[in-house]
Amino acid sequence: MKRNWDMDALAKALWGDENGGAGIGGPAVPGTQQYRHLSEADTRGGFISPDALISGDVQIGEGACIYPDVHVRAGVGGQVILGDKCVLLDGAVVKASPGKTCRVQEGTTVSHSAVILNAQVGAGCLVGRDAVICEGASVADGTVVHDGSVLPPGTAIHTPVLVKGYPPEEVRPIEEKEVRNILEANKRLRDGAREYCLHAAVKKL
């Protein structure tokens, strides 16, 4: 049975009211930006958990989903750019130092507790759990960085491959079927995040 949602009430529960009342995430932490998106109220279709910490000059693309306990931080004069439909899972860290840029391109999934520092990560990538991509590294579109792998400063991955270990080894090329699977998993994670957002708002009401 389809339910007709009161979108004004849902938006108030998510974002708070014009008199300063807090939404489900509580008041914003000083010096940070907090975003809350609901797919039915926001055509961009993104979701950012109120438990995520976002500070500094951070650009977030349409449809991006940021799960709880994620830290996205840009130092003074630095910038973090997250492309459309990016997914950052619980505990991930994406950071730009002062004067530096860190970029994660469209459709990339950054797994639990992975760290990206002052690096350039291409589109449609999968950065595995606990992986670390260090300053100045660049990763080609469609690359898979295996769980726990470390890409040292300045590492350059020029073609879509499976990268594993430390020091990192380019194990094999990524097949077209694997790229499709990565993008499908990314979509499932984004759909799941929006469902979480909707149900959290309804529960508060």
In tens, the pLDDT along 84-99 reads 999 999 999 999 999 9
Q: DSSP letters along 49-118, please?
A: -TT-EEESSEEE-TT-EE-TT-EEEE-TT-EEEE-TT-EE-TT-EEEE-TT-EEEE-TT-EE-TT-EEES
Q: E strands along 89-195, which residues? A: 93-96, 101-104, 109-110, 115-117, 120-121, 126-127, 132-133, 138-139, 144-145, 150-151, 156-157, 161-164, 169-173
CA distances from 61 to 47, 86, 134, 138, 204 (A): 11, 8, 23, 20, 27
Q: Map out the domains of the chain with their CATH numbers.
A: 7-204 (2.160.10.10)
16 confidence band (pLDDT: 50, 70, 90):
very low
* Cα gap 117→82, rounded to integer Å: 13
Residue 1 scores a pLDDT above 60: no
pLDDT of residue 19: 42
pLDDT of residue 49: 86
Residue 118 scores a pLDDT above 90: yes
Residue 116 scores a pLDDT above 60: yes
195 confidence band (pLDDT: 50, 70, 90):
low
pLDDT of residue 3: 39
In tens, the pLDDT along 55-88 reads 999 999 998 999 889 999 999 999 999 999 999 9
Structure-block tokens of residue 107: 């459709």
pLDDT of residue 46: 80
In tens, the pLDDT along 24-60 reads 333 333 333 433 333 333 335 688 888 899 999 999 9
Q: What percent of the chain has pLDDT over 70?
A: 72
Half-sphere exposure of 121 (CA within 13 A, CB side): 39
pLDDT of residue 198: 56
196 confidence band (pLDDT: 50, 70, 90):
low
State the chain's mean pLDDT as an integer. 79
